[in-house]
Amino acid sequence: MTRRTQAAYAVVATLLGTVLVVSARQPRVEITARDAALRVDVTVEGMPFTSYIYPETLKKPVLWPIRSARGTVITRGFPLDPRPGERVDHPHQVGLWFNHGDVNGFDFWNNSDAIKPERAAKMGTIVHRRIGEIHSGAGRGELNVELDWIGGDGVPLLRERTQFIFHANGDIRSIDRLTTLTALDKQVVFRDNKEGVLGLRVARALEHPADKPEVFTDASGKPTAVPVLDNTGVTGHYVSSEGREGDAVWGTRGRWTVLGATVDGQPVTVAVLDHPSNPGFPTHWHARGYGLFAANMLGAKEFSGGKEEFNFTLEPRTSAAFRHRILVWSEPIEPPAVESEYQAFIKSGGR
């Protein structure tokens, strides 16, 4: 072998080594606060992942929109950015959020700008107060926020401190939400209510195909009509950790539930994981075929047909923590793989 050939192989080896190093490098997760726009943007290698938004038009801060590693949007656009063919029901269901339908008698779940003035006094609002520490980095970013839960009478009930941890690894994106709620100067009771707690409203393609219109009634007795739409491209299918599938997942308990579909010709799988330390574990799944994907660990009565009831109380100055992980894959995922991710979630301490 000539020196020139040896030198050529050395260059190729060096180049290959560089390629291998680059391919093995974790993508950078960047967290950027944009105070004037009332949002914090989360990007992966410069590409949008999600945003924490707190405009005055919403009654609670949310993560919206949420995208897969391939850029597929998994959340509904309405009411912030309506898209052709999607549903326009339940205007309070935006992105990914955390609240409850009965906190000291105030409804935080159903509140929105669509609420009639005569109902406003019964509604609760979650107000963003400040952004805490922000950390960007390889494969991981962190956002800390502080919020107040305020009743319809204008009196704050709870202080919320939430840590969001955003992970990026290959075709997987994940969000850890670690929320601590602290009662202020009075007792706070989360009365058993089906409207709660961790909610995700998914894009049209992730819904279940529906063959009939339905009417859903909230805890205050307000009905919402959900009409049948064109089911073209609608392929969503729920599977729970307990082996329930489709609409049979609703109201049942489980460690996790996964929702799979094909969106714009690409496979997408979304999982929500409930941590064993959460109150009411394992959670009931308030998972609806029309696109509401929610874990309700503070409601049992309706889901159990009246056999169970769970009223959760925080005494003044005491706290409770809630841990969840949301996973988004750009591929079909089978239940054993979800269970593996769930075990990893537990071992990580919920973060």
Say if strands 223-226 and 137-138 run parallel, antiparallel, or are unpaired: unpaired
Res 221: pLDDT: 63
Query: Where are the domains positioned within the chain?
Result: 58-347
Stronger pLDDT, 146 or 12, i.e. the higher one: 146
Compute the average pLDDT of residues 251-280. Answer: 97
- State the chain's mean pLDDT as an integer: 91
Q: Where are the alpha helices (DSSP H) in the chain?
A: 3-24, 335-347
Residue given tokens 């291998």 in the structure block? 20
Residue 324: strand, helix, or coil: strand
Q: Determine if the pTM surpasses 0.85.
A: yes
Residue among 126, 163, 164 at smallest CA distance from 148: 126
Res 339: pLDDT: 98
For residue 236, the one-letter residue type is G
* Phi–psi pair at 3, nearest 5 degrees: -65, -35
Residue among 314, 281, 315 at smallest CA distance from 298: 281
In what helix (H) or strand (E) does residue 181 lie, and over which residues does it extend?
Answer: strand 172-183
For residue 201, the one-letter residue type is R
How far is the C-alpha of 261 from the C-alpha of 289, rounded, in Å? 12
Res 3: pLDDT: 40
Compute the average pLDDT of residues 42-55. Answer: 98
Angle at the Cα of 147 from the Cα atoms of 287 and 127, rounded to 5 degrees: 80
Express each pLDDT in 121-135 by its tens digit: 999 999 999 999 999
The DSSP result for 292-319, as a single string, is: EEEEETT--TTTTTTS----EEE-TT-E
Res 223: pLDDT: 79
Two tokens at 31? 């967290």
Two tokens at 248? 């049979």
* Phi–psi pair at 153, nearest 5 degrees: -90, 0
Taking CA atoms, 338 is separated from 86, 128, 203, 326, in Å, by: 28, 33, 21, 11
Express each pLDDT in 62-89 by its tens digit: 999 999 999 999 999 999 999 998 999 9
Express each pLDDT in 164-204 by its tens digit: 999 999 999 999 999 999 999 999 999 999 999 999 999 99
How far is the C-alpha of 207 from the C-alpha of 204, rounded, in Å? 5
Res 219: pLDDT: 57
Fold for the domain defined by 58-347: Beta-galactosidase; Chain A, domain 5 (2.70.98)
Residue 331 pLDDT greater than 50, yes or no = yes
SS3 helix, strand, coil % of the chain, rounded to 5?
15, 40, 45
